[in-house]
Amino acid sequence: MLQLGLLITNRHRLLSVAAILDVFESVNSFYERANQPHFFNITLFSPDAEPGKFYGAYPMQSIHEFTKQDLILIPAFGSGDVQLSIMSNQCCIPWLWEQYKNGAELASFCTGAFLLAAGGLLNGKHATTHIDAAEALASNFPDIIMKSDAVVTEDKGIFTSGGATSSFHLMLYLIQRFCGKDLTLRTAKMFAIDMDREQQTYFGTFAPPQNHGDGLVNMAQQKIEKEYQEGSTIEVLIQDIPASRRNVVRRFKQAIGVTPIEYLQRTRIEAAKKLLAQTDQSVLEVMLNSGYNDLKSFRQLFKKSTGVTPKEYRDKFNIARLETGGRWNRRMSGASYLD
């Protein structure tokens, strides 16, 4: 029986914990139906568990009472201040290190990677997290080998997953590692998980900060966001900003983390994504309305940014197509295979 510890961190995302328990309890139920003992002995750990404290049906065990585990899972943090979440879980870091040094493997889901990073457990290792949190993880913890487009990473006994539903892919990865392929396929069917996802880039959203306190950069941002459709170069767009180009680039990078030209490209790509998802405009019309004038170049930039072509992005996310059937109905038509 594998000792599986689930760390119930302060400020965790409830849905993340619920999904983890649901999946691994279901795997145990497969063994039970086959008249075999449960494969996973699930124990819930808490930074501040008091005697007699429960999480649902599970008694909580304090991390201050060391019990060796084989695998420890760290759920995603809830929305809000990640730094505050890290601070409220500092006491977990020595425990994670002790478990890791004693042979336990560690797996974080989505933004749970920030706790591993804060403790130095990801230094020099490949890691991923929610695509919209990847830049923050990379910039705050530069010793990580960031793989922001990856769905799952594994490096020296530490696993990380991308955002939201990518957590299910990490769980499948772990189930295959410990229980084999047949049980993994059975679990994937039970939870209707697509097993062929290779990257999460197309889920990303460009939401640059506006409250960084640099008025000159705000001026440049507003100029770009207002006139990106006109197809002008970045030099033309920022020519009226009262500072040298070199100064604008330096301050832009410092305030936002990208250069003005990167900001312009990502603003245009984000506009194209919205048009592909919310309208029936042709790819050519989307290109022109996003500020591009070369179809081949637009397709290359779009795929580089999202990991898929404009057509593939529309097939995945176009609201009208999903509402009228299309991909959704094709998936639902295969629901009978969940027997």
Q: Assign 93 to helix, strand or coil.
A: helix
Domain count for the chain, please give it. Answer: 2
Q: Is 14 domain-assigned?
A: yes
For residue range 107-134, list pLDDT tens digits in order: 999 999 999 999 999 999 999 999 889 9
Residue 53 has pLDDT above 70, yes or no: yes
104 and 253 in a common domain: no
DSSP per residue over 70-87, as a string? Answer: SEEEEPPBPSS-HHHHHH
220 and 79 in a common domain: no
pLDDT for position 199? 58
Q: Is 151 domain-assigned?
A: yes
Q: Assign 104 to helix, strand or coil.
A: coil
Q: How far apart are CA 170 and CA 167, in angstroms?
A: 5
Q: Can you give the CATH number for the domain in which 294 is found?
A: 1.10.10.60
Q: How far apart are CA 207 and CA 326, in angstroms?
A: 29
Contact 42, 29 (CB under 8 A): no
pLDDT for position 196? 62
Question: How far is residue 75 from each of residues 164, 175, 328, measured CA to CA in Å?
Answer: 11, 17, 29
222 and 179 in a common domain: no
302 and 157 in a common domain: no
Selection from 40, 50, 56, 55 nearest residue 8 by Cα:
55
243 and 180 in a common domain: no
Q: How far apart are CA 127 and CA 83, in angstroms?
A: 18
Q: How far apart are CA 12 and CA 110, in angstroms?
A: 11
pLDDT for position 338? 30
Q: How far apart are CA 22 and CA 18, in angstroms?
A: 6
Q: Is 329 domain-assigned?
A: no
Q: What is the mean pLDDT of residues 213-227?
A: 91
Q: How far apart are CA 280 and CA 245, in angstroms?
A: 38
For residue range 177-204, list pLDDT tens digits in order: 999 888 988 898 888 887 666 656 655 6
Residue 326 pLDDT grade (very low, low, confident, very high; cuts 50, 70, 90): very low
Q: How far apart are CA 228 and CA 262, in angstroms?
A: 12
- Partnered with residue 12 across adjacent β-strands are 77
82 and 43 in a common domain: yes
Q: Is 301 domain-assigned?
A: yes
Q: What is the mean pLDDT of residues 61-85?
A: 93
Q: Is 209 domain-assigned?
A: no
Q: How far apart are CA 93 and CA 264, in angstroms?
A: 40
139 and 93 in a common domain: yes
Residue 325 has pLDDT above 70, yes or no: no
Of 203, 223, 252, the residue at which a domain comes to its end is 203
Of 176, 203, 230, the residue at which a domain comes to its end is 203
- pTM: predicted TM-score of the whole model, two decimal places: 0.68
Q: Is 135 domain-assigned?
A: yes
> Which structural domain range is residue 17 located in?
2-203
254 and 286 in a common domain: yes
Q: Is 254 domain-assigned?
A: yes
298 and 198 in a common domain: no
Contact 61, 46 (CB under 8 A): yes
Q: Can you give the CATH number for the domain in which 44 is found?
A: 3.40.50.880
Q: Is 327 domain-assigned?
A: no
Contact 263, 219 (CB under 8 A): no
Share of the chain above pLDDT 90, in %: 62
Of 145, 172, 203, the residue at which a domain comes to its end is 203
